[in-house]
Amino acid sequence: MKGEPIVILLVEDDEAHTEIVRRNFAECRMANQLLCVPDGQAALDYLYRRNGFSDPATSPRPGIILLDLRLPKVDGLEVLKTIKGDANLGMIPVVILTTSKAESDMVKAYAHHASSYLVKPVDFSQFSQLMETFGFYWLAWNQYPS
């Protein structure tokens, strides 16, 4: 429903990066719910409601996914391919949030229908600014179908 907070699934194995995203969203007073999983397998388990994520009340369908590429267990590109290849998940926007500036990673991500590709700045204040800008664009200005 338009105007209501959405669930954001952050797939990130670096605890410091997870904390930067979490703090920035809190400081910007974003009302959206941020849920975090530490690896690609946990992301797929969450999305397919397997293992500890079987209850839809505690594992709601995300409205957007922030996905790192370099993940343990299942690589981020594999997670992206799986999401975009599934009729039930394919419409969820997936924003790649990674440290990789490699052209080949960008090409692969967009070839598998990533919605956006963001490179994490090394500088804390720049990373925070990126998250603030992300929040305004994807969570305030971008329009989603009903």
Give dist(CA 76, CA 110) in Å, integer.
13
**Does the pLDDT at position 1 exceed 60?**
no
Residue 117 phi/psi, 5-degree rounding, is -135, 110
Residue 36 lies in a domain: yes
Mean pLDDT (whole number) for 133-140: 77
Percent of the chain at pLDDT above 70? 92
Task: Note the pLDDT tens digit of each residue in 38-92.
Answer: 999 999 999 999 999 999 988 999 999 999 999 999 999 999 999 999 999 999 9
Residue 31 lies in a domain: yes
Task: Note the pLDDT tens digit of each residue in 103-121.
Answer: 999 999 999 999 999 898 8
| Tally of domains in the chain | 1
> Is 65:95 a contact under the CB 8 Å cutoff?
yes
Check residue 86 and give left, alpha or beta (phi > 0: left; psi -120 to 50: alpha). Answer: beta
Residue 144 lies in a domain: no
Task: Note the pLDDT tens digit of each residue in 10-32.
Answer: 999 999 889 888 888 777 766 67
Residue 143 lies in a domain: no
Residue 1 lies in a domain: no
Task: Note the pLDDT tens digit of each residue in 87-104.
Answer: 999 999 999 999 999 999
Residue 145 lies in a domain: no
Q: How confident is the model at residue 128 (pLDDT cuts 50, 70, 90)?
A: confident
* Number of Cβ atoms within 10 Å of the Cβ of 12: 25
Residue 146 lies in a domain: no
Residue 92 lies in a domain: yes
What CATH number is given to the structural domain containing 127?
3.40.50.2300
**Does the pLDDT at position 5 exceed 50?**
yes
Give dist(CA 42, CA 66) in Å, integer.
14
Residue 51 belongs to domain spanning: 7-138
